Amino acid sequence: MDRIHITGGAPLNGTIPISGAKNAALPLMIASLMTGETLELINVPRLADITSLLRILGNHGVDQMVVGKRPGQSTEAGQTIRLTASNVIDTTAPYELVSTMRAGFWVVAPLLARFGEAKVSLPGGCAIGTRPVDLLIMALEKLGAEIEIDAGYVVAKTKNGLRGAEIDFPKVTVGGTHVALMAASLAYGTTVIDNAAREPEVVDLAECLIRMGARIEGAGTSRIVIEGVARLHGARHEVLPDRIETGTYAMAVAMTGGDIVLENTRADLLSSALDVLATTGAEVTQVKGGIRVRRNGGGIHPADITTDPFPGFPTDLQAQFMALMTLAKGQSNIRETIFENRFMHVQELARLGAKIRLDGDLAIVEGVERLKGAPVMATDLRASVSLVIAGLAAEGETQISRVYHLDRGFESLEAKLARCGADIRRVRS
């Protein structure tokens, strides 16, 4: 099993190109099932989750063309993927494929909307909470689907097509909004989604569906209206920048010191997180085509956060922010409201010398003067990278095992950091 070795203490200086967003690319790829024509996606990151989803789509019969790196292009440049679902041969998504990633379950929506049936295994993914699919199923049932659970599979059918409906989510759900958007785009009549997720990745999916011929208004607000159409066509769409990767590297330089320009990204995608970061003593400024983050000499100031759906502080940056706060001059309070098990990185940060106390959904972080390198183990995707950030600032060597989690969500992590002065390397098993 691969490990990452880090010798901490070096500031980060230089530029880091931000990849396309994994959380946007996955639903966009799934949307290819909604048409028999080709969907071309640009700026797709090279990640394990992307590869896993390509296997799921291939199982359904989706033709795939992954455009290779062009001459003079760095390995960190996003790839182009062309997907054509003109000959779908199977509407079943088996357990052995869907169990590796939660987003694989979302194929239920386009399969049901276009073919009237789908049999999809209940999902897997990071062990950060139950993350039930009940709201996704509720949305499909509102649209007229007949659904039953059979031996770990969701079996969905519709005799005469899906019908527009009012879907009022009792709580904000990104996955539920993705599923409702795709299913409603091919339903008969008008669908209204209330309490819809407002995340940029939802907007990106809506914009792609509109390019494919869908009629959608209100994406990015809590109320989305969809007028169903009979069919969708092919399109060309560029995946938006990864706001979680952007925030991760911004917090890394805030913790280690230095001066980094994050290229090919947008501040509006994570303004709440950048606003909090600025209160910790980091200087955050917008530059042409990206964001500049620097911290020179001054200490890290404590700050309190509560994770919330967009535009609030992202749960996917909570672990990284906690790593930063371990070296703050004072106490910080971090409340996690999205996932009930997303504090599993606490015990690993403690191995580096962090002082963190848990009280239900609240983590109370007492800043320490220094962290010391130690062997640690990744527990999920975002927890993994929080250990990388802490290791970059710790004295001595940190060894991180189970780094396959990192490969699911961070493209060329070691190369991007090493180019900016980090002493980081991967040791292959």
102 known member of a binding site: yes
> Domain check: are 229 and 329 in the same one?
no
> Domain check: are 216 and 317 in the same one?
no
> Domain check: are 216 and 151 in the same one?
yes
What CATH number is attached to the domain comprising 185?
A: 3.65.10.10
426 known member of a binding site: no
132 known member of a binding site: yes
> Domain check: are 319 and 234 in the same one?
no
70 known member of a binding site: no
82 known member of a binding site: no
Angstrom CA distances, 108 to 164, 282, 425, stand at 17, 43, 40
Nearest to 329 by CA among 281, 287, 377: 281
338 known member of a binding site: yes
**What integer pLDDT is reported at residue 388 of this predicted model?**
96
> Domain check: are 75 and 10 in the same one?
no
**What integer pLDDT is reported at residue 331 of this predicted model?**
98
Domain span at residue 420 reads 3-17+297-427
For the chain, the domain total comes to: 2
Nearest 10 degrees: Cα torsion 58, 241, 236, 41:
-20
**What integer pLDDT is reported at residue 155 of this predicted model?**
95
d(CA 415, CA 401): 18
Strands 362-366 and 355-359: antiparallel
Of 238, 253, 269, the residue at which a domain comes to its end is 238
**What integer pLDDT is reported at residue 297 of this predicted model?**
72
pLDDT truncated to tens, each residue of the chain (429 aa)? Answer: 789 999 999 999 999 999 999 999 999 999 999 999 999 999 999 999 999 999 999 999 999 999 866 555 555 668 999 999 999 999 999 999 988 788 899 999 999 999 999 999 987 544 434 446 889 999 999 999 999 999 889 999 998 999 999 999 999 999 999 999 999 999 999 999 999 999 999 999 999 999 999 999 999 999 999 999 999 999 999 999 999 999 999 999 999 999 999 999 999 999 999 999 999 999 999 999 999 999 877 789 999 999 999 999 999 999 999 999 999 999 999 999 987 667 889 999 999 999 999 999 999 999 999 999 999 998 877 778 999 999 999 999 999 998 888 888 899 999 999 999 999 999 987
Predicted structure pTM score: 0.94
Q: Which of 21, 126, 224, 325 is catalytic?
A: 126
Query: Is 420 labeled as catalytic in the residue annotation?
Result: no
Q: Is 151 exposed, middle or buried (0-12, 13-18, 19+ CB in 10 A)?
A: exposed
Indicate whether 268 belongs to any domain: no
Indicate whether 401 belongs to any domain: yes
Indicate whether 414 belongs to any domain: yes
Indicate whether 274 belongs to any domain: no
Indicate whether 258 belongs to any domain: no
Secondary structure (DSSP) of 400-427: EE-THHHHTT-TTHHHHHHTTT-EEEEE
Q: Is 408 exposed, middle or buried (0-12, 13-18, 19+ CB in 10 A)?
A: buried
> Domain check: are 8 and 62 in the same one?
no
> Domain check: are 410 and 360 in the same one?
yes
> Domain check: are 321 and 406 in the same one?
yes
> Domain check: are 48 and 10 in the same one?
no
CA 321 to centroid of chain Cα atoms: 16
Secondary structure (DSSP) of 276-322: HHHHTT-EEEEETTEEEEEE-SPPBPP--EEB-STTSB-GGGHHHHH
Q: Which residue has the tokens 């024509």?
A: 37
Which residues on neighbouring strands pair with residue 398, listed in sequence order? 6
23 known member of a binding site: yes
Indicate whether 45 belongs to any domain: yes
> Domain check: are 7 and 62 in the same one?
no
135 known member of a binding site: yes
d(CA 333, CA 329): 13
